[in-house]
Structure 1
Amino acid sequence: MKNRVIDNPYIQNFLEKSLFIIILVLILATAKISSAITAINSSNGSINSMKSQIAYSNNKLDDLKKYESSMKNTSWITYDMWMKGCASISNIYIYDTTNKLKLLSEKPQDQLDKFSKDFKIETAGNTYNNVVKFIIIDKSKGTFITNDIANFDYIKANLKTFSAENGDLFNYVSNKGKWYNISYNSDSAPANRYNSNYQLINSTNFVEAYWFPKDYNYSKDDDALLNGMLDEAKKDFTTSNDASNKYIEELQKNIFDYKISIVFYSIIILILLTSIYFLGKERIIRALRYNFVTNSIRAINNWFERRGSLFKISVFIIFTSLSLFMIVGVLIFYHSINSSSLLIASTIVLLYSIVIFPKIISYSRYIDDIIRGISKITSGELEYVIDESGDKALSSLAHNINKLNKGFKVSIEEQIKNEKLKSELVANVSHDLKTPLTSIINYTDILLREDISEEEKEEFLKIINKKGLKLKSLIDDLFEISKITSGKVELNKHSVDVVELIGQSIAEYSDTELYFDKHLSFVFKTFTSKIEMDLDGSKMSRVFENLITNALKYSLNETRVHVEIEEVKKGIKISFKNISSSPLDFDKEEILERFVRGDRSRNSDIDGNGLGLAIAKSIVELHGGIMYLDFDGDLFKCIIELYY
């Protein structure tokens, strides 16, 4: 019975004619299974992530329970707990008490001094003075309030420097506080972080600093406050666990549904593959090669491939018109021949002839115009521009072709520019190699004479040594840039504190002759005290050293070099800024090329070979970041963006 069904010619013919549909269903079923497997893997990954989060929360809950019996040890308090449970509440209380800091501009400083000394942060039965210290400065009025009474006179004496964004307030607060928040714009103060209703007028007038004292001594009066924070932390972890468990249940249900879907589509695939198997190799090949649909498509495609656009569209119109007339004829013949039917048929034909046919002719001519334009462009007429008016799709095509042509022209111009840069590169390399080499040869010749003193010999040997070291440094830099551009450099990435790395580089170069001779100073600012990133520490250290050296060489005497780290989307932005000692009259992009220096003559007293910025840029790009320059008058800015 089974063989009779399989060998039945009618079934065989049906399967052969349906082969394309069977293949299409197989593809769709396979795609469904693949999609379900991907979804299962993704869901399992999310479940594992949620379980890890739950385990972390449970560990935290266990840790917190250890402190329920005694509040003397406050090591369990985290930055987020302190910000949410102490700093933000204290900040809101201060805003409410001072009419959103208007008190600082309304009262003279002597009254504000008394206000500070008598002020206590008390709300909801809790006193926060022991766990939150603060300084708030009104820059426009030069007034302040604080509850850091032990250092009141010191704060008052340094109020002007604390008002400026020069790092003095940061140094003071970071030395005093275990946790802290400093804001030169009150929009980033703790109150706004947890309650957007606390908006200040002219918020940039205020400098606010809040910190949890490092020297905090436990007080029995703080028990209720600390217990409240502990309970809130446990509640947050418990709520997080409940949400994670609920999400895991939903994912597990989805996984079950996906598995059912996989079984269903697998059965379909099995049935279809069995049908193809019993169809036989010969019938499968015939179905694929000699199927009517395949033959028709092949014949039509070959025929149209040899025709022009106008002919193709004309044939389409003729067959469409014939089909339309046939439909109208059938309707008239099988229903009724009357004036209304004739009017409808005539109207359709007229509209087709007046509206559609001219549009198709215009469309085909436009295609031919585009083809002719492409021929001219490919034959070398790069100034030729194809008309971009007409059908939207074709005008878009014409626009893109013109755009490609323009890009081709730019590419040729860029190639010419690159050839020029290569020539300049050879000249610059020759100059930078020849200069120290010539000095070494000249002073060696002098040393070979017999009529020179020991003092002169020692002096000349020092010069030869200095020039030799310069030559070695240049060759080392050449090898470095060669390795980077050839892709032979392997990064040894690990977790690096960017703030510490920059600080070390600044400290190293703050002890150089150039630094002291020019009477320069560094100003280093960062939005947070620690930034961990996955980097090659030694390579990035080279970047920072190159940029700091560049700033020292070209800075105007008795100025500051500003280094600032800012937070950007998915990463950080590091800015190196200095006042240039000479006009910034060079191209921003060109100065980042190899052997290009700000002093084009290469004869200035400034030592360098023009490779520093090029090496730095290449290393940054190896880390997936970007480096670019910006000028503002005589202010030179070198900016790096690194991403997590």
Structure 2
Amino acid sequence: MKDNFKKLKRKLLLEAIGLIVMSVILGAIFLHLFVDGVLESWFAEGFVTWLQNWMGLDYYAARQIYLKIFVYNKPMILGGAFLLLLGGALYVMGMRLTRYYQEMAQAVHKLLDESDEPIVMSDGLEFMATELNEVKRVLKHRERVARESEQRKNDLVMYLAHDIKTPLTSIIGYLSLLEESQELPSTFRQKYTGICLDKSYRLETLINEFFEITRFNIHEVVLEKETFNLTFMMEQLVDEFYPLLLEKNLKINLMYEEEVEFYGDVDKLVRVFNNLLKNAVAYSYPQSIIELHIFKTVAEVTLTFKNQGKTIPKHKLETIFEKFYRLDTSRTSQTGGSGLGLAIAKEIVVAHKGTIEVESSEAGTIFTITLPYSK
């Protein structure tokens, strides 16, 4: 962009110089042809004749006027002619600049145009048209993403509101039954109490999803960094997932060559790793192995989370980190959450100046997090 503006500036400067040179050339041509040149007598006679015919002067008086204007005051006449030509050149340059400004103003207004018609500008401003078309494309993409995200959020809130009614209705029904049936056998009373407790846990999960949506909308990642043992943190996380692993007969292999000391926000990074492990468990085939690798280099640390499960389609990989996006759209599935986990995880990783990527194939799905060492 900077080089293109330099080219435009050079072009305008050359045009200005060209107009000035042209003014000088025209003035010189006029001088040598009509005043001091081969056409001098023809021009003089014509000028004198014009004064005689239009002003009623005699030949001697008309001849004196010609001499005073074009011969005795030649420098002044030439200077005036040059200034006149220079003024015309500056006017042309001003018109050219005005046209550029008008084109740029119209192009900026077209950025808000909802049509797909491309922005077209004149020669010399093609680079700006290209840049503005790219800006327009990005704005439309962001608008579309924001609109889709808002729609997903609205759908999610509607689903959550509907889902909350189900466990709440069950809780009210079983509690009413327990209150009305005072002589209910203890086995049934225990069964109904357990159902109420399970439904309460489910209700708590749904309410937490509501809070997660609200927190994300007002959320700004503020890091509170400290030095901690990253490998020890991951070992603790893996131990905490032991009950969930038993349900599907899964196993987590944590592999690293040496312990890693890292400087970052412990609580937020725990949330990132916890989310990725939870997704790996939720989407893994039963009796499979989840592989967790930690690689350390001089400049950064890389963590990979690999699980064996259904291949994620390519078009979903491109949107998997968008907020309110869920791989499993079923609300009854245990894997169906608010769709904020990976979006928040990306924000936290980016806040640490890191990257998070995903790839999926028949060999498995791999999430890769790279975090640079920085104070």
TM-score by length of 1: 0.40
In the TM superposition, 1:601-620 aligns within 5 A as 601-604=330-333, 606=335, 608-620=337-349
Deviation at 1:561, TM superposition (A): 0.3
Q: Which residue of 474, 477, 493 corresponds with 2:225?
A: 493
Shift of 1:556: 0.3
Q: Is the 8 A contact 1:630 1:637 kept in 2?
A: yes
| Contact 1:519/1:558 (8 A) holds in 2 | yes
Structure 1 residues 382 and 370 mapped into 2: Cα distance closer, same or farther (>3 Å)?
farther
Alignment of 1:211-360 (within 5 A): 317-323=18-24
Partner amino acid for 1:321?
M
Residue 129 of structure 2 is aligned to residue 405 of structure 1: no
The equivalent of 2:155 in structure 1 is 424
**Cα deviation, residue 608, structure 1:** 4.9
Q: Does 1:465 align with 2:197?
A: yes
Identify if the C-alpha distance between structure 1 residues 468 and 501 changes in structure 2 by more than 3 Å, giving closer, same or farther: same
The equivalences for 1:89-100 within 5 A come to none
Moved more, 571-580 or 602-611: 602-611
Q: Separation in 2 of the partners of 1:377 and 1:426?
A: 35
**CA-CA distance at 1:424 after TM superposition:** 1.9
* One-letter identity of the residue aligned with 2:22: S
User: Cα–Cα, structure 1 residues 595 and 446, in superposed 2: closer, same or farther, change >3 Å?
Assistant: farther
- Matched AA of 2:369: I
2:278 paired residue number: 549
- Matched with 1:587 is 316
CA separation of 1:447 and 1:589: change in aligned 2, threshold 3 A: farther
Give the partner amino acid of 1:399.
Answer: T
Residues 627/438 of structure 1: CA separation in 2 closer, same or farther (3 Å cut): farther
Provide the residue aligned with 2:60 in structure 1. Answer: none
Match of residue 304 from structure 2: 575
Displacement of 1:314: 8.5
Q: Secondary structure at the match of 2:331?
A: coil
Structure 1 distance, partners of 2:251, 2:368, is 19
Q: How does 1:389-538 map to 2 (within 5 A)?
A: 390-391=123-124, 394-450=125-181, 452-476=184-208, 478-479=210-211, 482-483=214-215, 485-487=217-219, 490-509=222-241, 511-512=242-243, 514-526=244-256, 528-538=257-267
CA contact (8 A) 2:251 2:289 kept: yes
Contact 2:354 2:371 (C-alpha < 8 Å) held by counterparts: yes
Looking at structure 1, the residues matched to 110 and 360 of structure 2 have their Cα atoms a distance apart, in angstroms, of 40
Distance 1:433 1:529, change over 3 A: farther
| Residues 328 and 336, structure 2, Cα contact 8 Å, conserved in 1 | no
Give 1:377's aligned amino acid. Answer: K
Name the residue aligned to 2:87: none
Secondary structure at 1:587's aligned position in 2? helix
**Secondary structure of the equivalent of 2:307?**
strand
Take 2:25 and 2:196, find their aligned partners in 1: how far apart are those partners?
96
How has the CA–CA distance of structure 1 residues 379 and 419 changed in structure 2, closer, same or farther, with 3 Å as cutoff? closer
Aligned residues: 302
Identity value in percent: 27
Aligned-partner Cα distance in 2 for 1:317–1:370? 24
Taking the TM superposition and a 5 Å limit, the aligned residue runs for 1:2-13 are none
Query: CA offset at residue 503 of structure 1?
Result: 1.5
Counterpart CA distance in 2 for 1:593 and 1:401 is: 26
User: Is 1:481–1:615's contact at 8 Å kept on the other side of the alignment?
Assistant: no
Deviation at 1:617, TM superposition (A): 3.4
SS in 2 for 1:403: helix
1:623 equivalenced with 2:355 (yes/no): no
Task: Provide the secondary structure at the position in 2 that maps to 1:448.
Answer: helix
- Larger RCO of the pair (alpha carbons < 8 Å, separation 6+): 2
Tell me if structure 2 keeps the 8 A contact 1:565–1:572.
yes
Over 3 Å counting, the alpha-carbon distance change for 1:465 and 1:416 in structure 2 is: same
Using the TM superposition, give the Cα deviation of residue 505 of structure 1 relative to its aligned residue in structure 2, in angstroms: 0.9
Cα distance, 1:479 vs structure 2: 3.6
Unmatched 5+ residue regions in structure 2? Answer: 1-12, 38-92
> What is the CA-CA distance between 1:576 and the residue it aligns to?
0.7
**1:382 is matched by which residue type in structure 2?**
S
Distance between the aligned counterparts of 2:213 and 2:371, measured in 1? Answer: 20
Aligned-partner Cα distance in 2 for 1:620–1:372 = 39
CA distance in structure 1 between the partners assigned to 2:167 and 2:127 by the alignment: 58
Q: Secondary structure at the match of 1:419?
A: helix
> Residue 117 of structure 2 aligns with which residue?
384
Instruction: Flag the 1:597–1:441 CA change in 2: closer, same or farther, 3 A.
Output: farther
In structure 2, do the counterparts of structure 1 residues 447 and 636 end up closer, same or farther at CA, with 3 Å as the change threshold?
farther
Alpha-carbon distance, 1:532 to partner: 1.2
Mapped partners of 2:226, 2:108: distance in 1: 55
Write the distance in 2 (CA, Å) between the matches of 1:637 and 1:445.
48
5 Å matches for 1:28-47? none
Checking the alignment, whether the CA contact within 8 Å between 1:480 and 1:615 is kept in structure 2 is no
**Aligned to 2:316, what secondary structure does the other structure show?**
coil
Structure 1 counterpart of 2:328, one-letter code: D
Whether the 8 Å contact between 2:304 and 2:368 is mirrored in structure 1 is yes
**Distance change (3 Å), C-alpha of 1:462 and 1:492:** farther
Equivalent residue in structure 2 for 1:374, among 107, 112, 121:
107
Question: In structure 2, the residue corresponding to 1:413 is in which secondary structure?
Answer: helix
**C-alpha contact (below 8 Å) 1:388/1:399 kept by paired residues:** no
Q: Write out aligned runs for 1:34-183 (5 A).
A: none
Cα distance change, pair 617–431 in 1 and its aligned pair in 2 (3 A):
farther
In the alignment, which residue of structure 2 is the partner of 1:340?
A: none
How many Å apart are 1:329 and its aligned residue? 11
> What's the offset of the Cα at 1:495?
0.7
> Which residue, 282, 288, 303 being the options, matches 1:559?
288
Distance of aligned partners of 1:367 and 1:556 in 2 relative to their CA distance in 1, 3 Å threshold: same
Q: In structure 1, what is the Cα distance between the partners aligned to 2:101 and 2:220?
A: 50
Q: TM-score, normalised by structure 2?
A: 0.65
Aligned partners of 1:552, 1:594: CA distance in 2, in Å?
Answer: 21
Aligned residue number for residue 185 of structure 1: none
The secondary structure found in structure 2 opposite 1:384 is coil
The alpha-carbon deviation at position 634 of structure 1 amounts to 6.3
Name stretches of at least 5 consecutive residues in structure 1 with no aligned partner.
Answer: 1-311, 338-359
Q: CA deviation at 1:601?
A: 1.9
